[in-house]
């Protein structure tokens, strides 16, 4: 099913950077052809809310994954357009 030059396993690494009110997640994805994509997600804690670092990480990671999915759809759309020579709109 896969081209011999493509790896069917993709890897996503998530790094977090946090302070008292912000959590930032940076996602690095290595695709099957060796290319990489990087996206970012952020979470902000309201000053009146208690500190729950895991919740901030979950929100920041989720937003980074949404951005990654959007970037993958855009890349695929561009590749399809180059083949079929007309605009393509992939559904989310």
pLDDT tens-digit series, residues 49-82: 888 889 999 999 999 999 999 999 999 999 999 9
Q: Which of residues 26 and 50 earns the better pLDDT score?
A: 26
What are residue 31's phi and psi, to 5 degrees?
-80, 170
Please give the order of strands across the beta sheet that includes 11-18.
11-18, 22-30, 36-44
Q: Could you give the CA distance from residue 63 to residue 79 in angstroms, rounded to a whole number?
A: 25
Domain boundaries, the chain: 11-84
What number does CATH give the domain 11-84?
3.30.160.240
Question: Which tokens is 14 given?
Answer: 């998530």
Ranked by mean pLDDT, which of 5-9, 13-17, 29-33 comes out on top? Answer: 13-17
> What are the distances in angstroms from CA 90 to CA 7, 74, 76?
24, 8, 8
């Amino acid at each position: 099913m896969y081209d011999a030059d493509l790896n069917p396993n993709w890897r996503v690494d998530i790094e977090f950077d946090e302070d008292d009110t912000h959590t930032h997640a940076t996602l690095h994805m290595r695709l099957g052809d060796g290319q990489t994509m990087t996206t970012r997600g952020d979470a902000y804690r309201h000053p009146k809310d208690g500190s729950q670092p895991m919740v901030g990480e979950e929100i920041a990671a989720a937003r980074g994954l949404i951005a990654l999915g959007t970037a993958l759809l855009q890349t695929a759309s561009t590749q399809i357009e180059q083949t079929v020579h007309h605009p393509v709109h992939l559904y989310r």
